[in-house]
């Protein structure tokens, strides 16, 4: 999961660098280009990017741990947002919290919401893995994957989860009016505080995951399971349990992502699909299966998308992520941090 | 210590073992010999819980362990040491060894066992911060054996410790296996290198087509005509 940056072939890097320079040239030539717009492009790009990164992190984690590409991951993001929103609505009209913390009222509630999304999505992910995905892997000995079926099932699960969410929360877009305070001024630019929250919380979650995987015993076990299920079994790791844990962590991170997006945009039943696709692009750009690569890929996709819609054309916003993915796949098929298959632990 | 009784097992619907019987006494080294595809590794995989046993029993320390989850079998003190290529290449040597002691509860014990393994294989101590991917074949095999020793096992099962290694290194590793036995462990060695394995072991089993074909004292097996013909090779043609 954590190998060093692979220095690609020289040719790859030169062609890729040329593309980057051409793109920057194009943006600089745009009439909207000035330092103000650049600042907002960077902040919006980073804050959107960290969300893509968080979802991509989950996709990569599941891919390394379970050898499955989880196509229902966007739905965990969406349900996470709803879990956060539900908690917010529960706490929103409780006067006693306001009486105890009159100043910090808004963000304490928001932190509780984030925590709720994290825990509930973690448990929900474990539940889904145990009840729906585990039976599919029976043929492969209880933890390996029995072919293409499980990928198609990911799509099915996605449809089912969307419809369940539709029944519970109906398709109307819901606001998430977290009271986090006034916009903050950074370098002459007024930023909605939710952007800061996204970047700070997103980066802390990513750093926390890094710490968890590299410094704790359970993390060591997870990395072992990701590399080889048989050898992990032979050193005494309870592999089926660890696979559930991996799935749960990935879903919990997606849930946090959903709650982070909520206050800036809105919470809708259909928000998972497009996020999944963008996160997919982010994972591919960063190098599929590589965790730091997922975050870097997320930032790259986020900034590229925002910059393009600012400076090139705003009417095709959703196109750019995939354009970037195609270019990266053409020139550097392994992404920025390509994973050599043998080294993926 | 380990008693395998009429074991039938295989992969998917392919039956490999057709009723194998084996017995490993405490503090002995037993060699399990056989050509490719005769079911040597299948016995190990069944004993360590990686594949199901279809029929028959596996007894370890007087308790039946067939079809327990693999990690519980490790917890009971029966550890399989894989071939040298099965390490975690992107982790350092120390991390690999720590994984071997994954079931240990106390940190003190973990560091004690690390000391013990470095004592067996000083080479690993020199390389302890290197990634396992950078080790040589012999060092990898040492790492695998060391990882097996980390969890305080009562018995280890070695899967072809001499595979693809230079004779000098094989000798070195076999000396260490003998040392491990002298420290109180029971060892089962699966080997294709028949001569070396019989020199090391006290008792030998020869497996053929999923059943034990010949068994006996290793000194006796070495001069057994049928073993000589089928595994040591060259008796008739070279005379």
Site of tokens 């973990």: B110
Residue of B nearest to A227 (CA): B88
Q: Are B198 and B218 in contact (CB under 8 A)?
A: yes
The radius of gyration of chain A's CA atoms, rounded to the nearest angstrom, is 20
For residue B235, the model assigns a pLDDT of: 44
| Averaged pLDDT for residues A265-291 | 87
The residue ranges of every structural domain in chain A are 58-272
pTM above 0.80, yes or no: yes
ipTM for the complex shown: 0.83
For residue B237, the model assigns a pLDDT of: 43
Enumerate residues 6+ apart whose C-beta is below 8 A from B66.
B7, B46, B53, B56, B57, B58
For residue A338, the model assigns a pLDDT of: 67
Quickly list DSSP for A189-226. EEE-HHHHHHHHHHHHHHHHHHHHHHHSHHHHHHHHHH
Q: Are A310 and A41 in contact (CB under 8 A)?
A: yes
Site of tokens 């590793």: B173
In chain A, residues with a C-beta closer than 8 Å to the C-beta of B99 are 220-221, 224, 232, 235, 237
In chain A, residues with a C-beta closer than 8 Å to the C-beta of B147 are 235
CATH of B2-238, one of 1.10.1740.10, 3.40.50.300, 3.30.310.160, 3.40.920.10: 3.40.50.300
Q: Are B109 and B130 in contact (CB under 8 A)?
A: no
The residue ranges of every structural domain in chain B are 2-238
Q: Which residues pair with B207 in a beta bridge?
A: B212
Give every strand in the sheet of B211-217, ordered side by side.
B78-81, B155-159, B186-191, B29-33, B203-208, B211-217
Residue that wins the pLDDT comparison between A342 and B118: B118
Mutate to test the interface with A, among B51, B71, B147 (most CBs of A within 10 A): B71
Mutate to test the interface with B, among A215, A218, A235 (most CBs of B within 10 A): A235
- Residue by residue, pLDDT tens for chain B (239 residues) are 888 888 898 887 888 888 888 888 888 899 888 877 788 888 888 888 888 888 888 988 888 888 888 888 888 889 998 887 788 888 889 988 988 888 888 889 899 999 999 998 888 889 888 888 888 888 888 899 999 899 889 999 988 888 878 888 888 888 888 888 888 899 999 888 788 888 888 898 888 888 888 888 888 887 777 776 666 554 444 43
B99: contact with A, CB 8 A cutoff: yes
């Amino acid at each position: 999961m954590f190998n060093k940056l692979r220095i690609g072939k020289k040719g790859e890097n030169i062609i890729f660098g040329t593309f980057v320079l051409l793109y920057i040239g194009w943006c600089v030539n745009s009439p909207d280009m000035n330092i103000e717009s650049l600042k907002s492009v960077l902040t919006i790009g980073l804050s959107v990017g960290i969300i893509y990164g968080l979802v991509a992190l989950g996709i990569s984690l599941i891919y390394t741990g379970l050898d499955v590409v989880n196509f229902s991951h966007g739905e965990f993001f969406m349900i996470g947002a709803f879990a956060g929103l539900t908690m917010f609505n529960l706490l929103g009209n409780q006067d006693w919290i306001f009486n105890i913390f009159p100043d910090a009222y808004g963000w304490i509630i928001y932190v509780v919401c984030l925590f709720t999304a994290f825990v509930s999505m973690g448990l929900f992910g474990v539940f889904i893995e145990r009840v729906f995905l585990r039976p599919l892997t029976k043929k492969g000995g209880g933890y390996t994957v029995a072919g293409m079926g499980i990928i198609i099932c990911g799509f099915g699960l996605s449809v089912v989860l969307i419809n369940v969410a539709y029944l519970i929360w109906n398709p109307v877009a819901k606001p998430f009016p977290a009271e986090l305070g006034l916009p903050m001024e950074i370098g002459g630019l007024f930023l909605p505080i939710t952007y800061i929250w996204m970047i700070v919380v997103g980066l802390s979650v990513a750093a926390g995951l890094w710490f968890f995987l590299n410094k704790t015993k359970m993390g060591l076990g997870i990395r072992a399971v990701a590399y080889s299920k048989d050898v992990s079994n032979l050193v005494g790791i309870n592999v089926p349990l660890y696979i559930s844990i991996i799935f749960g962590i990935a879903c919990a991170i997606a849930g946090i992502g959903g709650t982070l997006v909520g206050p800036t945009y809105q919470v809708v039943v259909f928000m998972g699909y497009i996020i999944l696709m963008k996160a997919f692009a982010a994972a591919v750009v960063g190098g599929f299966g590589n965790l730091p690569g997922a975050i870097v890929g997320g930032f790259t996709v986020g900034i590229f998308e925002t910059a393009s819609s600012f400076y090139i054309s705003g009417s095709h916003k959703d196109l750019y992520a995939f354009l970037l993915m195609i270019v990266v796949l053409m020139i550097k098929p392994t992404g920025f941090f390509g994973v050599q298959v043998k080294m993926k632990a | 210590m380990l008693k395998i009784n009429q074991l039938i097992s295989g992969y998917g619907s392919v039956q490999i073992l057709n009723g194998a019987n084996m017995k490993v006494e405490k503090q002995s080294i037993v060699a399990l010999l056989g050509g490719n595809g005769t079911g040597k590794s299948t016995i190990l995989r069944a004993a360590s819980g990686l594949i199901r046993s279809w029929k028959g029993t596996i007894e370890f320390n007087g308790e039946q362990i067939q079809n327990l989850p693999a990690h519980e079998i490790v917890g009971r003190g029966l550890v399989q040491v894989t071939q040298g290529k099965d390490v975690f290449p992107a982790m350092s040597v120390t991390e690999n060894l720590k994984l071997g002691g994954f079931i240990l509860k106390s940190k003190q014990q973990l560091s004690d066992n690390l000391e013990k393994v470095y004592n067996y294989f000083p080479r690993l101590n020199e390389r302890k911060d290197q990634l396992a991917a950078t080790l040589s074949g012999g060092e990898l095999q040492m790492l695998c054996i060391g990882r097996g020793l980390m969890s305080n096992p009562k018995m280890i099962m070695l899967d072809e410790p001499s595979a693809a290694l230079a004779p000098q290194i094989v000798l070195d590793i076999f000396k260490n296996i003998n040392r491990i036995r002298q420290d109180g462990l029971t060892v089962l060695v699966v080997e294709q290198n028949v001569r070396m394995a019989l020199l090391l072991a006290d008792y030998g089993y020869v497996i053929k087509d999923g059943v034990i074909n010949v068994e006996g004292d290793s000194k006796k097996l070495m001069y057994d005509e049928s073993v000589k013909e089928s595994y040591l090779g060259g008796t008739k043609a070279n005379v």
